[in-house]
Structure formats: C-alpha cells, structure tokens
C-alpha cells in the first residue's frame, strides 16, 4: 500500500494545511472523557419496545439529529425523483437501521463524537460495533487519517504488433496535459492526476487515475475516460484495431492485489489504544490473548489466500454504504485491508486498521435519496467537502468492529453473542 513520492507530499500538505507539524498532529491526540465529556450513549441495545425506540430517537433529536425519514414520518418519495438511481421501479426494499455511539474520532477531517447509522438484518452486528465504539471513545477516541485519493479507469487499445503499440504510446504520453484539459470539460468535481501504462504485447492499457472530489466517482471517471478515448481516436495517427473503455485492469468493484498494493478510492488508516482494564471489563479477556488470536487469524488468512487480513470489514462497510446511499457493490473492494494488534509497553491493547480502497461520496448517486441524506446528516457528511470526513468515520467504525469481534473470539463469547442477539427471543408486536 505504498504511495508515490508526489502523492506522499500531497498527503503531507493536506495534513499540515499551512500549519506547523506540531499544530497539525495535535488534532490526532486522544481526548479522554475526563478532559472532554462524551455525549450520552445510546442504551437499550436489546430492547425492541416502542418506548425504547422512542427514547433513542429523542436522544438523537436532543443532539440535533433528525430521524423523520427513517421513522417513516415523511411522505413516500415520488417515483419521478428516482430517475438516475433505478430502472423498472416497483418499490423499496426496507432494511432496518440501527445506530451506534457516540464514537469519538480524532482525524484530519472527522474530529468529534458521532452517532453512526448502520443498515443490516444481521442480529448482533450493531451491538458488536456499539461495544467497540464505547471502548474506543472511553479510551480517548480513534486516530484516523484519509490519505491518498484516486479512482481509475483502464481503457485498452489493441494493435497488430508491438511496434504499433510503441508508436501509439509515443504519441499519447507527451499529451498528458491535453488529456487533463479534456477531462476538465466533462466534470466540475474531478481531475485527471496520473496516467500509467501497461503493455501486454500488442495490447496497451492506459491506467487513468482521477481525483473525484466529494463524489464516489465511478460514473464520473467513466464519462471522463470516454471523452479521453474519443480525443485519442480522433487525433492519434496510430489507430487501434479495437478499443474498450475499460480493460478490467482498474479493479472496479473487485478485491484486487493491484488496488491493495497501491490505493483505489480513498486510503484510510486508523488506530486506537484500549486500556487493559477496559479489555478485561468489557471484552472479558486480556490484550495478550487478543494479540494471540490476531496472530492466528493472520496465519489463517494467509492460508486462505486472503487479499489483506482482517476480521469483518465487510460488515461495517456494507451497513454504512446501504444506510448512507453508497454503491453497495463497492463493498467488494472497500472491505479489503489489514488489521494490526499489539500490546503496548504499559500493557494496553494497540489496534490499527488500514483500508486502501474506501470508495465513498457525499454528493451524487444514492446520496440524494431522503433516508441517505438523513443518515449522512447524522454524521455531518452531507454535500461538498465531506467525503474525506465520511471515509474517516467509516474507518473508525471498522476499527470498532475489529476490536469487538476479536475480543469475542478471544474470550470464547462469539457464539453466545449470536445466540443472544441473532435469534428472536420475543414475539413481534402486532
């Protein structure tokens, strides 16, 4: 997951933002509850009564968070408003949404305490993330950073020979700035930041990397790439026999080794230190036992051929994506990453997650839908200038889940938790 030098310098400039290193990195320092009190915690995890649901909604309302759309108190969305989001529309798949938190986040863009919405039908999932969020927040919060940002398309051009491939590249490569101008005419939010080349005999793949601003960007880069290809075909003297808008080298909506070793979407990293006494009290185990299980899981992941090694990133990513109007198919790539655990010199638990493929947006696509707007508003991530913040909150949520599930595995509580939360124990109200 290395970043090229020019990307690394851009990341550092973004973190500093005309501040000294000491001033900038002070934002990442843990904030303990005795120094900065936390908002009230959502309670009644396993209470499904109407009174408990109303109490949770009132707690969120007191924090300035609306749940009117989620609660079905607003008019149904008009079918005409769904143009651009769905075809052959017949209705809605209704999935329950739970909330965890507060989750304290100390990031470059996300700096605060957040109630995080998660859409799922898997019992025990929200309870697990809620527990992890509590541990992180009580111990000062998660330190997170959104680093490299890029989304790629890889058009492929097929020629009769390697010589023709070379002549084609000799024309294309010096015209990178011209292609940047072509892209600028197709989008207000995106820009072409890099052009890489892969030659496979007489086939040439142009790997176009874009910065997509606050949009997830798949449609944006498709349209921009289409304009780039049209310009090349109109002006290049060496014409291909065939061409394809994407030659499947971009890694779009797939877990790929190429994206894992570089980055696709937003690369986000996060860490937290959990006090030993908190591990004992709430996870019923020891930091050393959690590190031991993490080591075993790494060995298991290697044997399975996993791209990256982690517990269950997909649970958090899928639940957040569905709640917040993201492209759910991108879970395939966004759920790739590495979890790290260690015991500190003081005997506490250190945990980190690294996620190189977090493709999220806060404008366009499904983010326009009313319930998605309400869920994004819950974490203050609606509209322009909020995508990197949302990526950091996603990362902190993933971190909470890793702490909780590895704790459950280490303590032998995993099966019991699913028996408690994953099975219906009371009849639903009429």
Give me the active site residues, please.
Answer: 122, 327, 418
Q: Residue 24 burial (CB < 10 Å; 0-12/13-18/19+)?
A: middle
Report the alpha-carbon distance of residue 321 to residue 360 in Å, rounded.
8
Q: Are 398 and 281 in contact (CB under 8 A)?
A: no
């Amino acid at each position: 997951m290395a970043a090229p030098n020019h990307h690394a310098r851009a990341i550092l400039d973004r973190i500093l933002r005309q501040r000294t290193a000491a001033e900038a990195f002070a934002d990442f320092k843990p904030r303990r509850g005795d120094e900065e009190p936390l908002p009230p915690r959502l309670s009644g995890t396993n209470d499904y009564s109407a009174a408990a649901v109303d109490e949770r909604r009132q707690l969120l309302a007191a924090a300035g968070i609306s749940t009117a759309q989620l609660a079905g108190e607003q008019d149904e969305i008009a079918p005409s408003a769904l143009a651009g989001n769905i075809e052959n529309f017949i209705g809605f798949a209704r999935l329950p949404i739970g909330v965890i938190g507060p989750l304290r986040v100390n990031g470059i863009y996300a700096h605060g305490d957040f109630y995080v919405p998660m859409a799922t039908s898997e019992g025990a999932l929200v309870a697990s993330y809620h527990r992890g969020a509590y541990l992180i927040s009580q111990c000062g919060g998660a330190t997170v950073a959104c680093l490299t940002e890029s989304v790629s398309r890889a058009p492929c051009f097929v020629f009769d020979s390697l010589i023709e491939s070379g002549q084609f590249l000799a024309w294309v490569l010096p015209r990178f700035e011209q292609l940047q101008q072509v892209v600028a005419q197709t989008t207000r939010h995106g820009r072409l930041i890099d052009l890489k080349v892969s030659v496979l005999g007489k086939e040439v793949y142009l790997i176009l990397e874009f910065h997509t601003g606050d949009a997830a960007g798949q449609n944006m880069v498709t349209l921009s790439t289409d304009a780039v290809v049209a310009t090349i075909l109109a002006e290049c003297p060496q014409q291909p026999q065939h061409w394809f808008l994407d030659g499947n080298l971009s890694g779009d909506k797939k877990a790929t080794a190429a994206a894992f070793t570089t980055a696709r979407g937003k690369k986000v990293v996060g860490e937290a230190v959990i006090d030993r006494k908190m591990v004992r009290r709430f996870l019923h185990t020891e930091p050393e036992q959690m590190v031991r299980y993490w080591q075993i899981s790494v060995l298991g992941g290697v044997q399975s051929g996993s791209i990256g090694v982690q517990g269950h990133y997909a649970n958090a990513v899928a639940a957040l994506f569905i709640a917040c109007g993201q492209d759910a198919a991108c879970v395939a790539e966004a759920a790739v990453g590495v979890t790290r655990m260690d015991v500190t010199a003081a005997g506490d638990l250190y945990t980190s997650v690294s996620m190189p493929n977090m493709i999220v947006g806060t404008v366009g696509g499904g983010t326009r839908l009313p319930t998605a707007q309400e869920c994004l508003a819950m974490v203050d991530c609606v509209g322009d200038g909020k995508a990197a913040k949302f990526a950091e909150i996603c990362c902190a949520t993933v971190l909470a889940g890793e702490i909780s599930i590895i704790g459950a595995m280490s303590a032998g509580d995993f099966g019991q938790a699913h028996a408690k939360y994953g099975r219906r124990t009371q009849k639903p109200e009429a």
